[in-house]
Amino acid sequence: MISAFFIFNQKGEVLISRLYRTDFKRSIADVFRIQVISNSDVRSPIITLGSTSFFHVRVNNLYVVAVTKTNANAALVFEYCYRLISIAKSYFGKVDEEAVKNNFVLIYELIDEINDFGYPQNSETDTLKSYITTESIMSSAYAAEESSKITTQATGATSWRRGEVKYKKNEAFVDVVETVNLSMSAKGTALRADVDGHIQMRAYLSGTPECKFGLNDKLVIDKNERGASDAVELDDCRFHQCVRLNEFDATRTISFIPPDGEFELMRYRCTSNVKLPLRIIPTVNEIGTTQVSYTVSVKGNFGTKLSATNVVLKIPTPLNTTTVDCKVASGKAKYVPAENIVVWKIPRIQGGQECTFTATADLTSTTVRQVWARPPIDVDFQVLMFTASGLIVRFLKVFEKNNYHSIKWVRYLTKASGSYQIRF
Amino acid sequence: MAANMRGLTQFIADIRGARVRELEEKRINKEMANIRKKFKDGNLDGYQKKKYVAKIIFTYILGYKVDIGHLEAVNLISSSKYSEKQIVCLSFTGDGNSLALVQGYLAVTLLMHENSDFLRLVVNSIRKDLDENNEVHNCLALHAIANVGSSEMAEALAEDVHRLLISPTSMTFVKKKAALTLLRLYRKRPEVIPAVEWALRLVSLMDDQDLGVVLCVTSLITALAQDHPDAFAVCYTKAVDRLHRIGIEHEYSGIYTYYKVPAPWLQVKLLRLLQYYPPTEDMTLKNVLNETLQTIMTSSAEPSRNVQHNNAQNAVLFEAISLAIHLDTRSPLVDTAAVLLARFISSKETNVRYLGLDTMAHLAARSETLDPLKKHQGTIILSLRDKDISVRRRALDLLYSMCDVDNSELIVGELLRYLKVADYVLREEMVLKIAILTEKYASSYKWYVDTILQLISAAGDHVGEEVWYRVVQIVTNTEDLQAYAARVVFEYLKTPSVHESLVKVGGYILGEYGHLIANEPGYSPIEQFQVLHSKSQFCVAPTRSILLSTYIKWVNVFPEIKPQLINIFERYRHVLDAELQQRACEYYALACLPDDNEMLQNVCEEMPPFPPRVSGLTSRLNRKMTDTEDKRTWIHGGREINLEQQQMTTLVRPKQAELPVNDSATASGTADSAVLNALAGLDLTVPSEAGESAPAPRLTVGPSIDKWYQKLTYSAEGVLYEDVQIQIGIKSRFQGYLGQLAIYFGNKVSAPLTSFTSTIYVSDSAALSATFAKIPANVLAPRTQSQQLLQVECKKVFTCPPILTVSFLAGAYQSISIRLPVIVTKFSEGVKFGQADFFERWKLIGGFPREAQVVFPISLDAAGHIDLPHNRRIVSGNHFEILDGIDPNPSNIVGAAVLHTSVEGKVGCLLRLEPNREAKLCRLTVRSTSEEVATAVQRLVETALRME
């Protein structure tokens, strides 16, 4: 299991250092610094040196590192690291060097709480917040009372939810967020198209509500049960621990008692029948060795009522470009020499609308004629109320013994950042 | 100017300030895009160009790929002209211009690879800079050439670099750089440097005033002389002279002392250079050299406490010792050296120990007697256990070299003991060396077999195939050894774990000679079989096939174990390995033949002795030595090997001369000799003279040169040569077979003649020796005369006079080659005879072939008479005693002389000269006891007479 845990800054200085077991000395941090941080060749998140394995996650120029000597479950170790990051985010917002330095006491408290002798423990933000606080100290009597509740809660059937929660207005928000990954060949065929989705829920419900959740009718979960061709197929579904899995296995219904506040109900992946929100047709011609001409058109491939916002196309230019002359009807285009790209920003594209970009890039001569590698065009965007996988929330029912009325909100968002790529 | 490049400063500051690599990349990308744009737009002034190229260079230095800006860099090089135009308006441009140039060159040397097309554009600019008078520009250009050093550049610019090197107006630092640049070009493309043509001129630079220049030129000459030893032979004298001047006369400026050692680098280089030449014959040089070496050794005797001082001193000392060994191993110097070395090998410092052992190995490889080394055998053996592996290696080499019959048992024993703990990297070499030593110095065959088997069992994996082949060969060829070997091998095989090589040896020896010991208790056939067969299961297929052959031999000699053996063949017939299966089937068939069939007996006849063959071990060892840059002047091993090696190199050398000589030829040379070594059974040692004699210098021609020379052939003093700059005069004295010539060199101009060199070339050194009494001074002051004494000795009759070559620098390089009036008759002495005596001898000698006669036309004097006094002068000038009253005709001349030679002794010589006034002809008859003398004398006198 995890023997040591560190957070390093960009330069390799140790910000947080915790040894859970005695099989390492603090100097193991130097090994990581030398072997990983100062070695620019290392890209793998897992490095095994001898019998020692280093797992690291990079976030905002910080290295979050877990070290183990045993044959630990790598997925678990990474989950632990990511979980710590998300807890830290919910406690003090941004996770960067400054925040870590400012909150190092809290972080030590947290990493001691969520890990015991290297074994990960309850890492539910909600629960943790009940006894690890950043506010001023409560009266000791109250604290004692609270702490007794913690025990019952942590050991009870619903460890993720406190007993008596009261809201004046019972509301539940469901956000379906999908990230589209696309890599399209120069001929226009999709080499890879898939969707990473997660359903984020914010529940502000009194008492101990029992929720039932329904998705599309033609939903196929797991590959082995083949549905109709237009069905929505989800792979690799993963649920929050509150979801009753035996019930899901038996009847395919998602029922659960939600934790209080925000949590991630479900995560899934979809690889078939992906609806691509933006259609991009690039035409790039190299004219001799001195010029490259571009014609790139973007079309919104969704209902006319919807719109894509914050569309940014990063169109690569050859490395020996001198100037780029751009012409666009909508949005703004600009050559960014620092990254050898032309950035074309379009604030909004309505469904069915088509925008075109034409440009010519002038090149300078070079000593060694190199073939331009033609890296792909990168597109970032957001489309509200649209799911690339086609997933729709049919219903969300809340049963509570008080039988109160609850308001449910559903929102869809499809986005892409850095992974929607078109080759030309 | 540089401070004004704000953009550059800012750029560098930005990059330095970048926290992450990505940021740095972004900044550079941005800057590069900017520069591309600027270059594309054109219209840049010099400052801007310079700034952008500087930025590109900086980016390149950071390790980014740069593929623009080359053209601009090239332009910068030629920018000097541009800037010069600006010089009027901009006061700082002079400085700035060279800065731009620096940057241009920097860019070129950094950005351009050898094969870049742009280099062609640069060549002309560089040439222009080489031609310029500004030495800063010269140096920049030289730097660029040396750094880029492409073959194309070498071809185009070698000539210019050379010109810069020899130009009298070049500053010393330009010369230094030029010499090193030339060296670099030579290493790159040896064929573009006409080394032989330039040789004399380059060597003359070794007389430069500045030791720095001398150092650089010596480096160059060392490289060239290795490939063209004859052309550079003059450098020998120069090097000796320079060493003498540094070491004994202390002729150097203070800045060249390094920790109290005068110019150590130069000394080392010179000492090394001398090692590339065979030891000199010239006594004067030899004495000077010995004196110098002696001084170096005595001055280094005291180790100082300063490390740097010690280092410098030792560097010179070790080179000096090497040279002393190279020159003559019997000289007292080497004894001193041996004492010093003994101290070094027990030094505390690893480096000194290493060098000490290495040099000692050199001594052992050359020396005739190993006694001084043997005193330190204990120390050397201890060095095998040194903590530094390189020292251990040297100790091993040394032990190998110093092994001889007396100490072989001890050394081999010690090596065997050490083998078990030696480093793995050393083992294979050690095994080879032990095997060679054991074979070479085996005092008894028993000892040989014991040692080798011990070696095989101890070293196991490191034993090459050759080693055990050799054992088998020797055992087969030595009859007395066979039973003993079989017994010992058997004992070894009995031990539980045995190395495979030993099983192979055992299989072979027991198969052949097992029957010799079969009757002794404990060695019965069945026991032999069991012991050997128990090992077979651990062996690979080739070993097993050897064992199968052993078994079939046993079927023949040990009928009692035939059933077991047939059983084994039977089993092996079904083995998958084709070789084993085939053998098993054949042997099975052979073994199952009826007893009365003699087939088996015939097949299993005892092995005939191997034809004597040179051991393959030595060639294997030599092949392992790879020489790279500097040639070694010796190899490890005893004296014989080194002598042999020298013969080999003289054999190989003519071949090298034909090839385009470069460093790789060295490799091919050694490879050749390795092949020759391997084939050494054949008689390849054909004596070859091809490489020996240097080509004769080309004689200077002039209208009066011949006249001067002829006149001197029959007179003792006079002018030998004269032109506007120099006059050479001669005074000579001869006594028996010895002679002394005082040669006077007169400087007729008002400037000193520097690098004044005079050398003597003798075509047949076995017949005539000519040496200067001392090394001549190399400067001839204006309007002065210097005298040099030349000692000559006539050993045999010779025909070609020695040639004096005088070279000097008087502005340009001048070289004069003229014959010296040293002819065979100079060594003769007149004798007086009476008439009867004369004719008796005349008849005694008889006619052809001991008579040489010629009839030739003569000219008469003004009065139409025979010029009798002149003739008499010539004849007596040729050291003949004129005998009057023997010939009745007064115009006839009769002479007699005795020629003295040191080797062939005295040769009598008689002469008759019979001029005929009417016919204007003259008959000259020379009779001598030696045919050669007769012809030679006749020719000489005839030429002298005809001259008029």
pLDDT of residue B696: 66
pLDDT digits (tens, 9 = 90+) for B562-580: 888 888 888 888 888 888 8
Running DSSP on this structure, what letter comes out for residue B686?
-
Size of interface A-B (CB pairs under 8 A): 46
pLDDT of res. A281: 92
Mean pLDDT of B289-314: 81
Chain A residue with CA closest to B28: the answer is: A338
**Whole-number pLDDT of residue B849:** 77
Contact A364 B36 (CB under 8 A): yes
Place of tokens 């055998």: B377
Mutate which of A367, A368, A369, A370 to test chain B, going by most B C-beta atoms within 10 A?
A367
Q: What's the maximum distance between 2 C-alpha atoms anywhere in chain A?
A: 82
CA distance A37 to chain B (A): 12
Minimal Cα distance from B69: which residue of A?
A366
User: Of the candidates B19, B33, B37, which has its C-beta nearest A10's C-beta?
Assistant: B19
Tell me which chain B residues have a C-beta less than 8 angstroms from the C-beta of A368: 67
Residue corresponding to tokens 């600019």: B125
Q: Give the DSSP letter of residue B559.
A: G
Residue B85 has pLDDT above 70, yes or no: no
Dump pLDDT digits (tens) for B15-43.
888 877 888 888 888 888 888 888 877 77
Residue B526 has pLDDT above 50, yes or no: yes
Residue of A10, A364, A367 with shortest CB distance to B118: A367
Give CA separation, B484 vs A68, B143, B423, B447, B508, in Å: 64, 71, 33, 11, 14
- A325–chain B Cβ distance below 8 A for any pair: no
Contacts of A367 in chain B (CB under 8 A): 67-68, 70, 116-118
Paired with A196 in beta bridges are A179, A269
Find the residue in B nearest to A322 (Cα).
B37
Contact B67 A323 (CB under 8 A): no
Q: What are the φ/ψ torsions at residue A296 (nearest 5 degrees)?
A: -125, 130
User: Phi, psi (5° rounding) for residue B199?
Assistant: -50, -55
Contact A337 B34 (CB under 8 A): yes
User: DSSP label at B780?
Assistant: B
- Give the residue, B10 or B5, on which the prediction is more confident: B10
User: Rounded CA gap, A177 and A83, in Å?
Assistant: 19
B21–A40 C-beta distance less than 8 A: yes
Looking at the complex, report in whole angstroms how far the Cα of residue B428 sits from the nearest Cα belonging to chain A: 33
The token duo for B153 is: 């550049």
Enclosing H/E stretch for B378: helix B377-383
Rounded distance, CA A62 to CA A144, Å?
37
The more confidently predicted of residues B689 and B181 is B181
| Chain B CA closest to residue A61 | B20
pLDDT reported for residue B77: 61
Gap between the Cα atoms of B16 and B24, Å rounded? 8
Share of chain B above pLDDT 70, in %: 84
CA–CA gap between residue A354 and residue A330 (Å, rounded): 10
> Residue B930 pLDDT > 60, yes or no?
yes
φ/ψ of B801, rounded to 5, equals -70, 155
Residues B98 and B136: beta-carbon distance below 8 Å: yes
Question: Mutate which of B19, B67, B119 to test chain A, going by most A C-beta atoms within 10 A?
Answer: B67
**Distance between CA atoms of A297 and A354, rounded to whole angstroms?**
7
Residue B38 C-alpha, separation from nearest chain A C-alpha, in angstroms: 8
Count helices and strands in chain A by DSSP H and E runs: 7, 24
Nearest Cα residue to B553 out of B518, B519, B501: B518
Rounded Cα distance between B208 and B755, Å, is: 7
**B269: closest CA among B246, B294, B302?**
B246
Optimal mutation site among B28, B68, B120, interface A, most CBs of chain A within 10 A: B68
The answer to whether the CB of B897 falls within 8 A of the CB of B831 is: yes
Q: How far is B54 from chain A (nearest CA, A)?
A: 18
Contact: A340, B118; criterion CB under 8 Å: no
Q: Which residues pair with A354 in a beta bridge?
A: A299
Whole-Å CA distances, A240 to A216, A236, A263, B828: 20, 13, 8, 125
Q: Is A402 on the interface with B (CB under 8 A)?
A: no
User: Who has greater pLDDT, B379 or A369?
Assistant: B379
Which pLDDT belongs to residue B87? 27
Handedness of CA A74, A76, A79, A81 (dihedral sign): negative
Q: By CA distance, what is B35's nearest residue in A?
A: A322
What is the pTM for the complete model shown?
0.62
B617: confidence class by pLDDT, cuts 50, 70, 90: low
Locate the chain A residue with the closest alpha carbon to B70.
A367
Smallest CA–CA separation between B67 and chain A, in Å? Answer: 5
Amino acid at B707: K
- Nearest Cα neighbor of A258 from A239, A237, A242, A238 is A242
Question: How far is residue B274 from each of residues B325, B327, B435, B771, measured CA to CA in Å?
Answer: 12, 9, 35, 19
* Contact: A367, B36; criterion CB under 8 Å: no
Q: Do A6 and A67 touch, CB atoms closer than 8 A? A: yes
User: What's the gap between Cα B198 and its chain centre?
Assistant: 20
Taking CA–CA distances from B26, the nearest residue in chain A reads A338
Contact map slice: A 48-77 vs B, CB within 8 A: 61
Distance, in Å, from the CA atom of B924 to the CA atom of B727, rounded to the nearest integer, reads 35
Q: Is A290 on the interface with B (CB under 8 A)?
A: no
CA neighbor of A197 nearest in space, from A182, A210, A179 = A179
pLDDT at residue number B632 = 59
Residue B20 Cα, gap to closest chain A Cα (Å): 8
pLDDT (tens digit, 0 to 9) for every residue of chain A, 424 residues total?
899 999 999 888 999 999 999 888 888 999 998 888 888 777 889 998 888 999 999 998 899 999 999 889 999 999 999 999 989 998 888 889 999 999 999 999 999 999 999 999 888 887 788 778 776 555 566 666 666 677 767 677 777 787 778 888 989 999 999 999 999 998 889 899 999 999 999 999 988 888 998 887 666 766 555 555 567 788 888 888 889 888 887 877 889 999 888 888 999 998 888 899 999 999 999 888 888 999 999 999 898 999 999 999 999 998 888 889 999 988 999 999 888 899 999 999 999 899 999 999 988 877 667 788 899 999 999 999 999 988 888 888 998 888 888 899 999 999 998 889 999 8
In a 13 Å sphere around the CA of B118, the CA atoms on its Cβ side amount to 23
Q: Is A366 in contact with B30 (Cβ distance < 8 A)?
A: no
Nearest to B183 by CA among B103, B246, B269, B123: B269
Q: What's the one-letter identity of residue B240?
A: V
* pLDDT for the residue B723: 83
Helix axes B541-557, B562-572, angle to 10 degrees: 150
Q: Where is mean pLDDT largest: B41-50, B197-206, B328-337, B739-748?
A: B739-748
Q: Check if the beta carbon of residue B354 is closer than 8 Å to that of residue B391.
A: yes
- Residues with Cβ within 8 Å of residue B166, at least 6 apart in sequence: B201, B202, B205, B813
**CB–CB of B32 and A337 under 8 A?**
yes
Using a CB-CB cut-off of 8 Å, the residues of chain B touching A321 are 33, 36
- The answer to whether residues A335 and B34 touch, using CB atoms and an 8 Å cutoff, is no
Indicate if the pLDDT at residue B351 is higher than 80: yes
Q: What average pLDDT does range B656-663 have in this prediction?
A: 37
Cα–Cα distance measured from residue B556 to residue B607, given in angstroms and rounded to the nearest whole number: 14
The length of chain B is 948
Query: Distance between CA atoms of A399 and A421, rounded to whole angstroms?
Result: 44
Highest mean pLDDT among B88-92, B123-127, B217-221, B828-832: B217-221
Which tokens is B110 given?
Answer: 């950094």
Mean pLDDT in chain B?
76
What is the model's pLDDT at position A364?
81
CB contact A97 to B (< 8 Å): no
pLDDT given for residue B338 in this prediction? 82
Which of A40, A362, A364 has its CB closest to that of B68? A364
Query: Rounded CA gap, B508 and B504, in Å?
Result: 6
Smallest CA–CA distance, residue B100 to chain A, in Å, is: 21
For residue A320, the chain B residues in CB contact (below 8 A) are 36, 67-68
B36–A10 CB contact, under 8 Å: no
Phi-psi map region of A403: left, alpha, beta (phi>0 left; psi -120 to 50 alpha):
left
Q: Are A268 and A198 in contact (CB under 8 A)?
A: yes
CB A323 within 8 A of CB A362: yes
Q: Sign of the CA dihedral A202, A206, A207, A208?
A: negative
Please report the residues numbered 327 through 346 in chain A whose beta carbons come closer than 8 angstroms to any beta carbon of chain B. 337-340
- B746: pLDDT strictly greater than 70: yes
Q: How far is A63 from chain B (nearest CA, A)?
A: 14
Side-by-side strand order, sheet with A232-239: A219-221, A232-239, A261-270, A190-204, A171-184, A407-422, A377-384, A307-316, A341-350, A332-336
Residues of A within 8 A of B21 (CB-CB) are 40
Backbone φ, ψ for residue A380 (5° rounding): -115, 140
Q: What is the DSSP letter of A35?
A: I
* A148 or B626, higher pLDDT: A148
Higher confidence at residue B634 or residue B23? B23
How many of the other CB atoms lie within 10 Å of CB of B608?
Answer: 8
